[in-house]
Amino acid sequence: MDCKLSREELSAYLDAELDGAELQQVQAHLDQCASCRAALAQLEVLQDQLQVDATHYAAPAYLRHRIHAALHDNRPPLPAARPRRWSWAWINLGLAAGATTAFAVTLSLYLAQPSQDDLAERELVASHFRALMPEHLADVASTDQHTVKPWFAGKLDYSPPVHDLATQGYPLIGGRLDYLQQRPVAALAYRHRLHIINLYVWPQTAQHDGTPHAAAHQGFHLLRWTQDGMQYAAVSDIAAPDLQDFSRRLQAAQAQSAQ
């Protein structure tokens, strides 16, 4: 299966509309194609945003009336039946069952809605996918933090902290502008052996430093934390302990520079 055919079926794959053979073909292609996995991640983010942000409209009364009238006109006549008297006990039981069913449906729909944290993490993974594509990793390619940090001047409304951790096994590759949570942010690329770490940095409204929060999506590890008024989010396919080690070293470097 080529990428063109795969992307034509991504929506059906996301909505679980493919049969067994097609499903296996698309899944096998996704396992081997980072570009199509990135496209799927973007579709998932779009789907989640539509569920949360899309405006729902109620049908006007006249339209409901016309639909009910059309259904009534097209309904085949029912055979005559003897009138049936219902006791209040059965009526109350039916009302209770209907209310219970409505509550269960409402609760299931509410629980199915992704949280804001889940949406943010999916958006980070999708951005990480895009960055791994050729010539997307860095707008300014440099291992010198004194070259990368000034490059952001005038491009952002804040100055992101930039640290090179080459001596500790995490050399800086460069930086780029990215877009997360409806705003431009600084993205810094690091390397650890054969793996890429994307670090996103943007201002945080909370004044206190937060405990790192770990998560995993689509085979990637994420780690988010706050420090000195900045929100940090690291995404990579390295092992979770290595990503935590990267976070600790970066926090130590930031604490030392703030002294």
Q: Could you list the mean pLDDT of each consecutive 10-residue stretch along the chain, which spans 259 residues?
A: 66 76 79 79 74 60 64 60 56 62 56 68 89 88 95 94 96 94 92 95 78 88 93 95 96 89
Q: Taking the CA atoms of the chain, what radius of gyration do you get in angstroms?
A: 26
Q: At what angle do helices 34-53 and 116-131 cross, to 10 degrees?
A: 150
All structural domains of the chain: 137-258 (3.30.200.100)
- Report the C-alpha gap between 136 and 128 in whole angstroms: 10
- Report the C-alpha gap between 237 and 151 in whole angstroms: 27
pLDDT in tens, 137-162: 999 999 999 999 999 999 999 999 99
Could you give phi then psi for residue 59, rounded to 5 degrees? -65, 135
Q: Taking Cα atoms as reference points, which of 201, 208, 131 lies closest to residue 163?
A: 201
The pTM of this model reads 0.59
DSSP, res 137:
S
Q: What is the pairing mode between strands 172-180 and 183-192?
A: antiparallel
The confidence score (pLDDT) of residue 75 equals 58
Question: What DSSP letter does each residue of 46-94 carry, written as one string?
Answer: HHHHHHHH----PPPHHHHHHHHHHHHHHSPPPPP-------HHHHHHH
Q: What are residue 227's DSSP bridge partners?
A: 230
Q: Taking Cα atoms as reference points, which of 257, 163, 144, 244 lies closest to residue 201?
A: 163
Residues whose CB falls within 8 Å of the CB of residue 255, separated by 6 or more in sequence, listed in order: 227
pLDDT in tens, 193-235: 999 999 999 998 766 677 789 999 888 999 999 999 999 999 9
The confidence score (pLDDT) of residue 133 equals 85
What is the side-by-side order of every strand in the sheet holding 195-203? 140-141, 172-180, 183-192, 195-203, 230-236, 220-227, 210-217
Residues whose CB falls within 8 Å of the CB of residue 212, separated by 6 or more in sequence, listed in order: 223, 224, 225, 244, 247
Three-state DSSP at 249 gives helix
End-to-end CA distance of the chain: 56
- The length of the chain in residues reads 259
Phi-psi map region of 8: left, alpha, beta (phi>0 left; psi -120 to 50 alpha): alpha
- Report the C-alpha gap between 6 and 28 in whole angstroms: 10
Amino acid at position 82, single letter: R
- Report the C-alpha gap between 253 and 44 in whole angstroms: 35
